[in-house]
Structure 1
Amino acid sequence: MSDISEPPRINRSSLQELIGGLSDGIILLNPDGGIAWANVSALDMHRVSDVEELGADTKEYRRLFTLRYRNNHLLEEGQYPLERLLAGETIDDVTVEISPTSDLDLVWVHTMRSMIISDGTGKADVLALILRDETPRFEAEERFERSFNANPAPGLICRLDDHRFIRVNEGFLEMTGFTKEDVVGKTVEAIGLFSNCETGEDALTKLGDGRVIRHREALVPLPDGGDRLVIVAGEPISVVEEPCMLFTFADLDARRKAQNALRQSEERFSKSFRLSPAPAAVSRLDDFVFTEANDAFLQVSGYSVTEITGRTASDLRLWEDVAARRALEQKLRDNAFVRNEPLRMRQKDGGTADCLVSAERVEINDEQCVIWALQDVTERRRSEAQLVEAIESVMADTSWFSRSIVDRLATLKHQSTAAPTARLMELSDREREILGLICNGQSDAEMGETLHLSKNTIRNHIASLYGKIGVNRRAAAVIWARERGFTGTADPKANSKAKK
């Protein structure tokens, strides 16, 4: 009996029983190239139910299944993993796309590696091809790839090991004007993604550590030499099992241009506001506190800018007629504009200035405000008053002048006053009677005797008449009547038929 014991042989039945329930696919190959066995996982990965459907040997397997690399390059004869395993090559995580030759539209992805089990003599006894189904992962990555490319939001993906970009979508290319060749293969530093960013060093540190990069503003350099204002953020992801960083962008350049245009517009407004010869001021709408006043406004009011800003017209007692001021402020609250309203300003030194006030609501820096524009008519009013006084003095005795000269003087006075006009037909019969007696030169007492009315009643009628025709003196009333061809008669009632 020989002392030399034979080397133990592998019990294939036990081996098959051991690996039968593994989630990885296992295909056992005989040394002659025949497919000996496959577990359930391997059959499921090939969408078959029996080992015979994989083919009797490697040649038939190549006829039944078409394999491609991920770059879509077909595997030729001798390149199939089963054929390489049979040739004694070591296969280490080769990823291929597999399709049934009968239906090339059906595709799944496998990663394969080899395992050779030798017997006690060192001779290969079991040739095993181990498969891992990567189809769900690659399908998810394809969905991500399609979504990434179709997303209008600009995006970039770089590898973490060398910071080189491996993906760029159309959104980024359209935003910057780069081409795909300008970006893919370039590093983050070469593109200058964080070169014009206040927190660029922090972003590059987080990129090096593979950590989340919170959103921050940056100026991305453009190929034409300009730059674009963006918000950029980075999120670590895995692309084909490779650690990467996904950068997403929000384009702020339109906002920057709008802000620049707004700033330039505000600068132009500020300059024209300050240099305008017309007095002007700005107040808030809600409380009418002055926020700005130009030099012309300060000059006419006598206040300094520090005395005006932060206070209201009420605080300064700026206008003599408080009721008129409140009425103007209410109109502005009601979103009505104010045009040439006469108001008398109290100046700081105790003087007064006659002003025509215009105002309108406007939005400044997202706040509702009011722009006030004044026209100082003090000198004009003074000149007009002096002219009217001279005309009235001359017209006190019209016997020295012809009718044509009197009419011209009356016209001149009318042109130099801003009194409102009223038609004669708008006056009541009594008011026309009163106007006729005034034109005839009667006093209040004489008019009372003529009309059989008391002196107080006569005065009330005169006040009502003056209010309607916009005068406050008898001479002005006479001129107003003569401008309209109404000169008074012996019978006051006859004037009721007078026309303008």
Structure 2
Amino acid sequence: MVDETRHIQMRQIVAGLSEGVILIEPDQTIAYANAAAVMMHGVADVGDLGATVSEYRANFTLHYRNHREIGPLQHPLDRVLAGEVFRDVVVELVPKRDPIHRWMHRIRSLVTIDTDGTPSGLALVMQDVSERYQAEARFERMFNANPAPAIICRIADLRFVRVNHGFLDLTGYHRDDVLGRSFCEIDLLRQAERRELAIHRLHEGRTIPQMEAQLATPCGRGRYVIVAGHAIEMPGPGGVEPCMLFTFADLEDRRKAEMALRHSEERFAKAFDLSPVPSALMDADGLEITSVNQAFVTTFGHAPEAAGGQSLSDLALWVDRVEQRKFSRDLRRLGSVRGFEAALQDAAGAEIDCLVSAERVSINDEA
């Protein structure tokens, strides 16, 4: 009578819990399951779970999603019957009658002991964590399919736990060369603009703003990128773990283009300075001289510092101002002038007959 009263009280206690609870007798009989447990198994009635542990095992397949070291033969209900106390075990539950549907449960055992040490009350307690694992599965698919290079670093020990194909393609690493390696071994922030700030925020698990950096590669040559870090949480062996998601934008093509442009401008500057033809660079808008070459200095006698910032009128190069205005008008209208016959004069006033040509060019993004 006392045992029956105790069982009734226990059922009343667990009936309204949001956690699913299955009560098991030592003789392997399933004595009771609350509404939450029934719903978490996708069945309509407690009888559909099975009258005994054996029937339950025949109706549902359970796969461990963590604690895999336990082994497939140690069914959670068998562990409960053995009086084992465990918690935070995640299993995938699949109804054998409807294998398309499946749930993820976080389970724990509840064992009460008599005064003589014999288990008197056995229960399997569960929470439905399907939505979380489905969200994580979606993240995994998106992370792996995303062409943008990305890698995830666990903050606790600064080891890499996820890497996508975009990162492997960008760097030339193989997956096995990255996973499990530490941040010190593969430096994602080499020569970063604000490296100290980035490292500090990595240790704190805070967002790392975008910055340019050199990404270490297997061949030892750095690859220029824009890197940013976003704090996230990822499932791990011990539960949820704080991590940092690093994403990258490749700057190699831009850097190569910039280097090619700089080399081109350097070659132009050398050719301009060494040209035997008197030459001057002028601002396209005001036709003010910005620089002159050595041949210009030798021919007209105007020092570079004296010519800089002066217009054609200020230097009084033109003997005939009408010719000067016509040249300037043609240059603005046509953008270039070739072989314009003009009489110019040097700093001493000596006239020099010239053929003057001008062409619009762009240097440092300025015309």
If the TM-score is normalised by the length of the shorter chain, which range does it land in?
over 0.9
Report the equivalent of 1:281: 280
Residue 189 of structure 1 contacts residue 195 of structure 1 at CA under 8 Å; is this kept in 2? no
Amino acid at match of 2:36: S
Structure 1 counterpart of 2:146: 151
Return the letter of the residue paired with 1:134: V
Determine helix, strand or coil for the equivalent of 2:184. helix
Partners of 2:67 and 2:89 within 8 A in 1: no
Give the AA of the match of 1:328.
Answer: F
1:81-102 deviation line (CA, Å, top 9, x unaligned): 1121011111221111111123
Change (3 A) 1:109 1:152: same
Q: Which residue of structure 1 lines up, in the alignment, with residue 222 of structure 2?
A: 227
Q: Which amino acid aligns with 1:364?
A: I
Q: Distance in 2 between matches of 1:328 and 1:22?
A: 93
Find the counterpart in structure 1 of residue 44 from structure 2.
Answer: 49
Matching residue's letter, 1:56: A
Q: How does 1:28-427 map to 2 (within 5 A)?
A: 28-70=23-65, 78-119=73-114, 122-240=117-235, 241-368=240-367
SS class of match (1:364) = coil
Decide whether aligned partners of structure 1 residues 87 and 340 sit closer, same or farther in structure 2, where only a CA change above 3 A counts: same
Report how far residue 329 of structure 1 moved: 2.6
Q: Describe the shift of the 1:255–1:141 C-alpha distance in structure 2 as closer, same or farther (beyond 3 A).
A: same
Instruction: Check whether the contact 2:83–2:122 (CA below 8 A) recurs between aligned residues.
Output: no
Residue identity opposite 2:53 in structure 1: T
Alpha carbons of 1:101 and 1:73: their partners in 2 closer, same or farther (altered >3 Å)? Answer: farther
Q: Tell me, in whole angstroms, the C-alpha distance in 1 between the residues paired with 2:127 and 2:153.
A: 27
Using structure 1 for the length normalisation, give the TM-score.
Answer: 0.69
Counting helix residues as a fraction of each chain, which structure ranks higher? 1
Relative distance call for 1:107 and 1:326 in structure 2 (3 A) is: farther
Q: Give unpaired runs (5+ residues) of structure 1.
A: 1-5, 369-500
Partners of 1:184 and 1:265 lie apart in 2 by 42
Following the alignment from structure 2 to structure 1, what is the Cα–Cα distance between the partners of residues 48 and 340? 100
Classify 1:281/1:48 alpha carbon distance in 2 versus 1 (closer, same or farther; 3 Å). same
Could you tell me which amino acid in structure 2 is paired with residue 60 of structure 1? E
Secondary structure at the aligned position of 1:196 is classed as coil
- Distance in 1 (alpha carbons) for counterparts of 2:4 and 2:61: 35
- Whole-angstrom distance in 2 between the partners of 1:300 and 1:90: 99
The more displaced of 61-70 and 231-240 is 61-70
Aligned residue for 1:132, secondary structure, equals strand
Stretch moving more, 141-150 or 334-343: 334-343
Map residues 487-498 of structure 1 onto 2, 5 A cutoff: none
Say if 1:121 and 1:64 are closer, same or farther in 2 by CA, change over 3 A: same
Letter of the structure 1 residue corresponding to residue 80 of structure 2 = L
Question: Larger % of strand: which?
Answer: 2
Structure 1 residue 324 displacement after superposition: 2.8
In the alignment, residue 221 of structure 1 is paired with which amino acid? A
Partners of 2:332 and 2:102 in 1: how far apart? 71
> In the alignment, is the contact (CA less than 8 A) between 1:154 and 1:172 conserved in 2?
yes
Cα distance, 1:307–1:349 mapped onto 2, change above 3 Å: same
Using the alignment, how far apart are the partners of 1:43 and 1:126 within structure 2? 20
CA contact (8 A) 1:217 1:230 kept: yes
How far residue 335 of structure 1 moved from its aligned partner, in angstroms, is 4.2
Q: Deviations over 1:271-306 (max 9, x none)?
A: 111001111111111111111211111222210001
Between the aligned partners of 2:157 and 2:4, the Cα distance in structure 1 is: 49
Q: What whole-Å deviation, never above 9, does each CA across 1:294-334 have from its counterpart, x for those lacking one? A: 11112222100011111211222222232332333333333
- Superposition deviation, residue 56 in structure 1: 1.3
Q: Residues of 2 paired with 1:184 and 1:77: CA distance? A: 27
Distance 1:184 1:66 in 2: 32
3-state secondary structure, aligned to 1:104: coil
SS of corresponding position for 2:11: helix
**So what's the TM-score if we normalise by structure 2?**
0.92
Q: RCO (CA 8 Å, sep 6+): is it higher in 1 or 2?
A: 2
Residues 8 and 119, structure 1, Cα contact 8 Å, conserved in 2? no
AA aligned opposite 1:129? L
Question: Which residue of 4, 19, 31 corresponds with 2:14?
Answer: 19
Shift of 1:73: 7.4
User: 1:78 deviation in Å?
Assistant: 4.3
Does the CA-based 8 Å contact 1:276-1:296 persist in structure 2?
Answer: yes
Percent of matched pairs sharing the same residue: 46
Aligned residue pairs total: 363
Shift of 1:74: 12
Q: Which amino acid aligns with 1:140?
A: A
Offset at 1:258? 1.0
Kept in 2, the 8 Å contact 1:166–1:185? The answer is yes
Aligned-CA RMSD value = 2.3
* Letter aligned with residue 8 of structure 2: S
Range with bigger deviation, 117-126 or 40-49: 117-126
Return 5+ residue gaps in structure 2 as ranges.
Answer: none
Q: Name which one, 1 or 2, has greater alpha-carbon Rg.
A: 1
What does the per-residue CA deviation read over 1:439-470, in whole Å, with 9 as the maximum and x for residues that have no partner?
A: xxxxxxxxxxxxxxxxxxxxxxxxxxxxxxxx
Post-superposition shift, 1:17?
A: 2.4
Structure 1 86/309 Cα, relative in aligned 2: closer, same or farther at 3 Å? same
Cα gap change, 1:10/1:167 in structure 2, threshold over 3 Å: closer, same or farther? Answer: farther
Q: Is the 8 A contact 2:83 2:119 kept in 1?
A: no
Taking the aligned partners of 1:179 and 1:105, their CA distance within structure 2 comes to: 35
